Amino acid sequence: MTLPTPAADRTALVTGASSGIGEQIARELVRRGHGVVLVARRKEKLVALAEELSASGVRAEVLAADLSDRDARADLPNRVADLGLTVDILVNNAGLSTLGPIATSDPDAEMNMIEVDVVAVADLCSRFVPAMVERKRGGVLNVASTGAFQPLPGQAGYGAGKAFVLSYTRALDGELKGTGVHATALCPGPVDTGFGEAAGFDKADAEAALPAFMWETAEAVAKCGVDGLDKGRPVAIPGPANRVGAVFAQLAPKRLLVPILASRHPGLK
Ligand SMILES: NC(=O)c1ccc[n+]([C@@H]2O[C@H](COP(=O)([O-])OP(=O)(O)OC[C@H]3O[C@@H](n4cnc5c(N)ncnc54)[C@H](OP(=O)(O)O)[C@@H]3O)[C@@H](O)[C@H]2O)c1
């Protein structure tokens, strides 16, 4: 088991904890006795969750922050230190997607997505991993996607961003061998959260494009990710269908696969 032992002055910082997978990862960590620092923009949602989680006896704190803002990210280590806590587990979960072809994309929306999905992940790892290595204990759970295993026409920037997170996390875990710190990339397939609506997916279209056996609950995805980190796995993919799909996506010639994906993606209809 590689997850650090919970203690009163140690915490797990979970980004994007105000809904969906991040909220469930926070719940899963609390179930295992870890205190949490909940990070996202919607403070009222974080406060309600922290109040509920605190009732189980662990310490749950709220740090509202917009992770697209470089100064807000840079402030996080000091804000955690001001609470008298050290971050033993970092969960980079906050994320979003744009939808549709690059040819009609909004440059600001694309840059905002890349700042949250990609830049913030690398930024927070650079800010929190050094102290974990010094303490010889820690864990990093970065949320990628099965969209990381192949190009994703219709969500090109999102898929490429998640490919970054997957490659970065595998490399980080390789660098960390023997330090007492581990890193896991969690690669979910489709999950019914606020994600699809925020991206502009029509729920019926998304369900038609992605068969029912690929969908996993946010609870199951969270458990798979925390289990993966605890077992020291570099990559965790929730659900057998998504694990098979990931192998196929990596092996299939992209010259054949990409046109098929482009013809089926709801964002390109
Ligand atoms: N749902 C899926 O099908 C699916 C599949 C594969 C991977 N994923 C990945 O799973 C992760 C969680 O997504 P989800 O499905 O749980 O979606 P969600 O319910 O929409 O949650 C997204 C979270 O990210 C936070 N967030 C977004 N922009 C932010 C910003 N600028 N600053 C701080 N926090 C921000 C949101 O909080 P606020 O709005 O309060 O800031 C929210 O807590 C994402 O990385 C996503 O790419 C999702």
What pLDDT is attached to residue 173? 98
pTM for the predicted model, two decimal places: 0.98
Distance, CA 198 to ligand 1 centroid (Å)?
A: 9
Catalytic residue positions?
A: 158
Strands (DSSP E) along 10-119, which ranges?
Answer: 10-15, 36-40, 60-64, 86-92
CA of 20 to the centre of ligand 1 (A): 7
Query: Are 35 and 60 in contact, with CB atoms under 8 Å apart?
Result: yes
Q: Whose CA is nearest to atom 7 of ligand 1?
A: 145
Centre of ligand 1 from the C-alpha of residue 95, in Å? 4
pLDDT of 2 higher than 90: no
Residue 1 has pLDDT above 90, yes or no: no
| Residue-level pLDDT at 3 | 95
Average pLDDT, the chain: 97
Tens-digit pLDDT profile for residues 32-49: 999 999 999 999 999 999
pLDDT value for 121: 99
Atom of ligand 1 nearest to the CA of 198: 20
Express each pLDDT in 93-106 by its tens digit: 999 999 999 999 99
Q: What crossing angle do the helices spanning 156-175 and 120-135 adopt, rounded to 10°?
A: 10
**pLDDT band at residue 200, thresholds of 50, 70 and 90?**
very high
CA distance 8 to 35: 7
CA distances in angstroms from 101 to 54, 105, 157, 200, listed in the order given? 44, 6, 10, 13
Say whether pLDDT at 122 is over 90: yes
Q: What confidence tens digit (pLDDT) does each residue in 45-104 have? A: 999 999 999 999 999 999 999 999 999 999 999 999 999 999 999 999 999 999 999 999
SS3 216: strand
pLDDT of residue 120 exceeding 90, the answer is: yes
Average pLDDT over residues 148-158: 98
The whole-number average pLDDT for the span 161-180 is: 98
Q: Are 154 and 100 in contact, with CB atoms under 8 Å apart?
A: yes
